[in-house]
Structure 1
Amino acid sequence: MKTLLVFLLLCHASSAVKHTLRYFLTGSSGVSAFPEFMGVMMVNDIQVAYCGGNTFGPKQDWGQTIVEKDPEQVQWYRYGCYEDKPYFFKEMISSLKQRFNQSEGVHILQFMSGCKWDDTTGQVTGYMQYGYDGEDFITLDLNTLTWIAPTPKAVITKQRWDTERGRNQYNERFIAQTCPQWLKTTLQYGEKTLLRTDRPSVSLLQKTPSSAVSCHATGFYPDRALMFWSKDGEEIHEGVEHGEMLPNHDGTFQMSVDLTVSSAEDWRRYHCVFQFDGTEDRIITKLDQAAIRTNRVKPQTLTVLIIPAVVCVGLVVMAASGYMVYQRRKDKRPPSPPESIAELSETLNPPT
């Protein structure tokens, strides 16, 4: 059984680590207090640089290294942010508003492009596409170097852009060659941030005895990780619900996977497995009822709390009853004689 579990984990670890470099450019029309054009560069989903309005620069401390050591890349960003793309986006939005018969209102044009590099196999994949008002508008097919129009209103653009062979070839070279090269150098500059690995803290949680057991991992980095439940060394899907991966305030991540299991089953057959994508770094947590953390009050604990409370209430009642008896007896007792002439005078002549 243990051999099967190890084999399963090695199968999950056989996938390679993949790094990404992505560009997001946004142009807008009719949006006040928002730049007409802005751009963001992200590596492994971490924002590295940005531009918008009259602002351009790195978002990370180590991003300054790109400015100092890679002037070609910086020049490409500056040209795209201040000369080429802002003008192109403005003209394209104006053209699309006429084509869609739009005169006023808010309109957004987005450009998304990037590459993914497998640092084990060396495989590079990429994409380039445009979206308009929240929907896909046109996408470049890197195999045929032609554009795909998912909407009839994009056909005109497709026909015109398909004839621009030189531009399409440049886009293909950028995605297949330039983008992965810049990705590799950026990974070197930001190695301590982009290539670090923080292991998570893994806990078993359960709300009630009848609810699902949640395997929760938090404090890990990067976010390229997976969690699953296994039974007898085999990954299971029935009764399993995967939660969403969420960011923590310190830049790390958290995620959980729930398992619904009968109390009559042998829980020792179940394990929660956490693993970073493409590595053998994994954490295996056995499903143990004694290790489950919960906020419910156990019956024996509740009894221990109730007994002192009852005794305390009883003592209070007894004290109150004794005080009332004392007061009644005190009221029936004859008053003590005055000890001095002054007291006697006060008694007979109380102040007005």
Structure 2
Amino acid sequence: MNPLNFPFTALVGQEPLQQALLLAAVDPAIGGVLVSGPRGTAKSTAARALAELLPEGRLVTLPLGASEEQLIGTLDIQSALRDGGVQFSPGLLAKAHLGVLYVDEVNLLPNPLVDQLLDVAASGVNIIERDGISHRHDARFVLIGTMNPEEGELRPQLLDRFGLAVEMSNCFDAGVRQRIVKARLAFDSDSDAFRARHASEQTSLSARIHAARAALPSFEFDDAVHARVSELCIEAHVDGLRSDIVMLRAARALAAFEGASNVVVAHVERVADAVLKHRRREVEAPAREPAARESVQRDAGSGDSDWGYLPPEPTGTAKIKQVRPLPAKKA
């Protein structure tokens, strides 16, 4: 128990973030959580707090300047050639196994590094290959990436790889702000006493995560659940089928965490926003063909309403005076 960690159960006004993190903790194969928002919205506090609830209680932070070798690990080729065995030096992915891998400002990392990170987060296995020699190891962790949109965006292809997304915002509710500040001041004043007051809730929450993980294989999805998932994803105009799979996994994790007997449509609808927030696409209505526009204009004055319609009016007429030619002059 790290006295510097703020208890997860003591977080105030962060319900969407807490739910997303708990779902990822129950099923890390969901693919991690992307948390975007301004500074000072408890993103890193929540990540550290979640790590304490997991089996190893381990939090590994990926620094911005990390290299590929620091992330995935290295193979000693000389040792392999000399002794015939593979000598592997673990990277951050191996160290994060069964814990939390926290990436602050993930949008500022090189894209290839983010790609590798997301691959391992989804598969739970890290594979290192070099000069025909390969090594693989388990790397099941909860990935939490944070970013401030004002400092740059992630490419859509990388956004889609994150399982869930939560958008944080500044709090303008006076009552909630006061509760947050009071809790923080109490923690800073005496962290041991503050944590002791939440110890029972923390223990209970950790047990629920473990029980939910064990229950996951017992859940199946009926046709109603599949139909609702498809409907929501189609309405959001998402690319591919990753969102469907993630939504089913998230709904199952929620059902398991709450001790439900089966996954129902209500579970799907409660996780849909976190699944679709970063995948939803706005599709513009197709432009009308010229002929269609002319038809609409012609029909604008027809029907029951003639608002804006001006009927044709006859133009004015005037008599034209005939002018007789002058008589020809005699020679």
Over alpha carbons, which structure has the higher Rg?
Answer: 1
TM-score, length of structure 2 as denominator length: 0.22
Greater strand share, structure number: 1
* TM-score for the superposition, normalised by structure 1: 0.22
- Highest relative contact order (Cα 8 Å, sep 6+), 1 or 2? 2
Q: More helix per residue: 1 or 2?
A: 2
